[in-house]
């Protein structure tokens, strides 16, 4: 009973599984028995050390996964960009070849005309002039024809030069797209191996040590469920506050900002749904308890940037990585609905130094404290 009561009071938990909490869990579990013998105490300490060592390893591997998720997203974005440029180059090459064919056809027609007319056509044009005025007029016609021929030749040359440049661009972007596709696959394969290592580490634990880890994970999941239920229960109150006359200037309590100058560098305020207060928070809370999945953007599972992308847009599509979020405008007075991020991990800020985030494999989407070194950003 003491153990369950202690877990029920923990409503906000860290992203990483805190090794120190294992000591508390162990002490509470031992309180139900008689005073342990020295051998029992040694065994319990060994199990605690075993669990803490495994957690340290799994936390380090989770950091690798977070970094891999950002690198994977960047590789995919660069692949997509290269493919778009490759396709643009291909389309331009097709258009240029059509123009070249047209110019070449006109030049060929002129050559055939000059060949049929022969060298006398030029003399006939001049000698057939009865007056000086006719001579000057015919001379001007010849000059214009020659200028036109020269322009066609120059246009043909320019088109061929551009076509050659576009073919070089096509080859370069096609090569880059293939390289980025290979890079993304390599990262995904390595991440899959890391996930398997994490699970193998967990499965290699003794039954007692695994029980400690399971208890901590279950406490985090229960806390996430309680947070989601509390947020849902408060929906009518938020709707009433939002419909009040003063709702035109949202306060920090419902995720708003009354002026552009108060949101840190002029970044636009988060989007709101009048009936609920903050659509970003609504979506974030609605996914509490969902499992963590590397590279996942929803709806069955999320990784950290996939979860943030869904919360911001309502679409299970990755809109960026932690690298992307770090480039967004930073805010000095974060509001619920902002993004908190560092180079490896990200989440949705909910106020009070807490965030909702896709934490780790085996834990999923939970509420936890904003990590040291994170910055707050807003689109």
Give the integer Cα–Cα distance in Å for 102 and 96. Answer: 10
What average pLDDT does this structure show over 315-331?
94
pLDDT at 357: 97
Confidence of residue 105 (pLDDT cuts 50, 70, 90): confident
Bond before 318 cis per omega within 30 degrees: no
CA distances from 85 to 94, 167, 171 (A): 14, 12, 10
pLDDT at 112: 65
pLDDT at 261: 34
Q: What is the pLDDT of residues 176-194, one digit of tens each?
A: 999 999 999 999 999 999 9
- Burial track 233-245 (b if 16+ CB lie within 10 A, e otherwise): eeeeebeebbeee
pLDDT at 285: 93
pLDDT at 313: 94
Q: What is the CA angle 202-208-210, rounded to 5?
A: 20
Confidence of residue 22 (pLDDT cuts 50, 70, 90): very low
The kind and range of the H/E element at 289 are: none
For the chain, domains (ranges, CATH) are 18-205 (1.10.287), 250-377 (3.90.1720.10)
Q: Report pTM.
A: 0.68
């Amino acid at each position: 009973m003491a153990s369950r009561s202690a877990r029920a009071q923990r409503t906000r938990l860290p992203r990483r599984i805190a090794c120190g909490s294992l000591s508390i869990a162990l002490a509470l579990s031992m309180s139900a028995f008689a005073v342990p013998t020295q051998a029992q105490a040694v065994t319990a300490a060994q199990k605690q050390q075993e669990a803490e060592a495994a957690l340290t390893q799994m936390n380090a591997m989770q950091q690798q996964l977070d970094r891999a998720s950002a690198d994977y997203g960047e590789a995919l974005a660069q692949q997509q960009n290269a493919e778009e440029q490759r396709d643009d180059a291909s389309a331009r090459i097709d258009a240029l070849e059509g123009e070249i064919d047209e110019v070449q056809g006109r030049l060929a027609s002129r050559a055939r005309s000059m060949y049929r007319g022969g060298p006398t056509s030029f003399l006939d044009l001049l000698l057939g002039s009865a007056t000086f005025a006719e001579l000057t007029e015919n001379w001007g016609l010849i000059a214009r024809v020659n200028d036109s021929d020269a322009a066609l030749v120059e246009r043909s040359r320019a088109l061929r030069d551009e076509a050659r440049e576009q073919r070089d661009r096509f080859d370069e972007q096609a090569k880059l797209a293939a390289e980025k596709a290979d890079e993304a696959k390599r990262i995904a394969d390595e991440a899959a191996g890391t996930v398997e290592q994490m699970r193998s580490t967990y499965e290699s634990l003794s039954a007692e040590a695994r029980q400690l880890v399971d208890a901590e994970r279950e406490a985090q999941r229960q806390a996430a469920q309680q947070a989601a239920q509390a947020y849902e229960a408060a929906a009518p109150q938020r709707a009433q506050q939002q419909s009040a006359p003063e709702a035109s200037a949202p306060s920090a309590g419902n995720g708003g900002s009354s002026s552009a100058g108060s949101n840190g560098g002029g970044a636009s305020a988060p989007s709101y749904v009048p009936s609920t207060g903050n659509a970003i928070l609504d979506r974030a809370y609605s996914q509490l308890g969902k499992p963590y999945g590397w590279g996942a953007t929803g709806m069955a599972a999320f990784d950290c940037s996939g979860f943030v992308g869904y919360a911001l847009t309502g679409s299970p599509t990755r809109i960026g990585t932690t690298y992307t979020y770090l480039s967004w405008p930073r805010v000095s007075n974060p509001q619920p609905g902002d993004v908190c991020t560092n180079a490896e991990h990200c989440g949705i800020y909910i106020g009070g130094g807490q965030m909702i985030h896709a934490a780790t494999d085996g834990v999923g989407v939970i509420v936890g404290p904003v990590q040291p070194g994170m910055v707050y950003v807003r689109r």
